[in-house]
Each structure stands twice: as structure tokens, then as C-alpha cells.
């Protein structure tokens, strides 16, 4: 088995009286393709905000690549190799795609400008956006906006990519386009956590599923086992 890339232990996050994540343990190994599922409000986004550093946990520890990152700010975690997309894409709409990719590169890499430009171009190619490098982000279709969001998350070469509902609202063929992109990123060696409600997409992508309900992990393992777990069925029926 490959080494542990991410280890979450005893993680808890409360908002006032709301327990969004309650005592969570989660271990992810290098190269895994993980699907993170669970009904609305089950704590998926809160968990990844704690992992990526947008939120400080109430209790618990997060180790990434052997380092305790629990108290590091988000930008330091990004430099260490945690990339993530946001549920609502927020690129700079008045910049071109290539310019949008220069921003994470300036924050997260030590490359010189020509190397950054080459990295931006090769990322656009990998994401199937090479035709649009000089287009303004504000002119993109929904599916290309999602690809740009993924490109921004991976351009600086993260070890872990967390994609939060990147496919919501897309058509069947657009979902397939994003799945193809995610598969290409995984083939490039990036460990991926995919949060998604579209079951067909989650099942086609994931080698392992983790299901949350009310801030707790209720199932973790091979997709068939998790989908057939009575607690998982109950969680979705209650939604």
C-alpha cells in the first residue's frame, strides 16, 4: 500500500451550537481516488474547509505529507500541495484564462515567469482549455468555468486535489467531460477527493467511498460495500 498522504484525527468543528463535524477520523493514501458523499448539511464542505485551512477546527489534528498542518494558514497548505476547488467558481472574470492561472503560480510556486507561463499553458492543455487561453474567464460556458476552477486548483502541482461539487448543474455529456479531466489528473499522480451528488459520476470515478451523515463518518470502503450499507441508505432516505 502507498504511504498515508492525509490523516485527520478526532476532527471536530462547531458553529455556535451546530456540530458540523463531530469527531472525524480519516486516512487517505497517495494515489487514491476518493468519493466523499453524504446528504446536504452532513459536513462535507466543512471537513474540506478544515483540511484546506479556510476553517480552523474546534478540536483534532490534520497531518499532510507527514506534517502537522492543523494551525497553518490556507496559503501555506496550498504551498505544501493541498489544492481545492470551491462550490461556487470564483475566477477573476476580467482576466484571461492564462492570467487566472498565473495567480496561484505566483503564490504557490518558485518558478520564474517563463516557466510559469509554460506551466499555465500545459495545464490548459491537460484540462482541454488550450483553445481558450486568451479568452476572458467571464466569457466561458458553465462546463469550461468548472474546468478553469480545476485548472486553478492544480496549476501549481498539488499532491492532493479536493473538488467540491464541480459537476453540479451540468448536462450528462458535460459531466463526462469533467470525469475525463479528473481521470487525467489522477493519472498524472494527483490524489483526489471528489465531493459529488451525481451518483453515476461518483461511482464511475471512485475507488473508495466515504459517506458522512450529521458530521460523522458512517461508512468508508469499497463503493459497493458503502452503497449497500444500511446506514447510508437510511441517511439518503432521510434527506
Stretch that binds ligand ADP, among 35-43, 64-72, 94-102, 146-154 (CB under 6 A): 35-43
Q: Is 41 a binder of ligand ADP (CB under 6 A)?
A: yes
List the grid coordinates of 220. Answer: 468508508
Stretch that binds ligand ADP, among 3-11, 37-45, 147-155, 219-227 (CB under 6 A): 37-45
Q: Is 104 a binder of ligand ADP (CB under 6 A)?
A: no
Distance set, CA 54 to CA 6, 71, 76, 77, 94 (Å): 17, 11, 11, 10, 25
Residues found near Mg ion in the complex (CB under 5 A): 44-45
Q: Is 239 a binder of ligand ADP (CB under 6 A)?
A: no
- 172 makes contact, choosing from ligand ADP, Mg ion, none, with CB < 5 to 8 Å by partner type, with none
Stretch that binds ligand ADP, among 33-41, 67-75, 76-84, 229-237 (CB under 6 A): 33-41
Q: Is 101 a binder of ligand ADP (CB under 6 A)?
A: no
List the grid coordinates of 232. Answer: 447510508
State the residue for C-alpha cell 481545492. Answer: 84
The binder of ligand ADP chosen from 28, 35, 43, 193 (CB under 6 A): 43
Distance set, CA 100 to CA 35, 134, 153, 205, 230 (Å): 28, 10, 11, 27, 44
Rounded Cα distance, 166 and 149, in Å: 8
Rounded Cα distance, 107 and 97, in Å: 17
Judged by DSSP in three states, 56 sits in coil
Q: Whose CA is closest to 204, among 165, 231, 175, 163?
A: 175
Q: What is the smallest separation between the CB atom of 83 and Mg ion, expressed in angstroms? A: 17
Q: Whose CA is closest to 191, among 165, 222, 168, 162?
A: 162
Compare residues 37 and 232 and give the one whose CB is closer to Mg ion.
37
- 96 makes contact, choosing from ligand ADP, Mg ion, none, with CB < 5 to 8 Å by partner type, with none
The binder of ligand ADP chosen from 22, 34, 35, 45 (CB under 6 A): 45
- From first CA to last CA, the distance across the chain in angstroms is 36
Compare residues 156 and 211 and give the one whose CB is closer to ligand ADP.
211
- 38 makes contact, choosing from Mg ion, ligand ADP, none, with CB < 5 to 8 Å by partner type, with ligand ADP
The contact set with ligand ADP (CB under 6 A) reads 15, 18, 20, 38, 40-46
Amino acid at each position: 500500500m502507498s504511504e498515508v498522504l492525509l490523516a485527520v484525527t478526532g476532527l471536530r468543528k462547531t458553529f455556535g451550537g451546530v456540530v458540523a463535524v463531530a469527531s472525524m477520523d480519516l486516512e487517505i493514501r497517495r494515489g487514491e481516488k476518493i468519493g466523499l458523499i453524504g446528504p446536504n448539511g452532513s459536513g462535507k464542505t466543512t471537513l474540506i474547509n478544515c483540511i484546506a485551512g479556510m476553517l480552523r477546527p474546534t478540536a483534532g489534528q490534520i497531518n499532510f505529507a507527514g506534517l502537522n498542518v492543523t494551525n497553518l494558514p490556507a496559503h501555506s497548505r496550498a504551498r505544501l500541495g493541498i489544492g481545492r476547488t470551491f462550490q461556487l467558481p470564483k475566477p477573476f472574470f476580467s482576466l484571461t484564462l492564462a492570467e487566472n492561472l498565473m495567480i496561484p503560480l505566483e503564490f504557490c510556486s518558485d518558478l520564474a515567469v517563463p516557466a510559469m507561463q509554460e506551466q499555465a499553458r500545459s495545464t490548459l492543455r491537460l484540462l482541454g482549455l488550450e483553445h481558450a487561453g486568451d479568452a476572458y474567464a467571464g466569457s466561458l460556458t458553465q462546463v469550461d468555468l468548472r474546468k478553469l476552477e480545476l485548472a486553478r486548483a492544480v496549476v501549481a502541482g498539488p499532491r492532493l486535489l479536493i473538488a467540491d461539487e464541480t459537476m453540479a448543474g451540468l448536462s450528462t455529456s458535460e459531466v463526462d467531460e469533467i470525469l475525463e479531466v479528473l481521470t487525467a489528473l489522477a493519472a498524472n499522480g494527483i490524489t483526489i477527493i471528489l465531493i459529488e451528488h451525481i451518483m453515476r459520476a461518483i461511482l464511475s470515478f471512485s475507488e473508495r467511498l466515504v459517506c458522512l451523515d450529521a458530521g460523522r463518518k458512517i461508512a468508508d470502503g469499497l463503493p459497493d460495500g458503502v452503497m449497500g450499507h444500511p446506514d447510508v441508505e437510511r441517511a439518503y432516505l432521510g434527506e
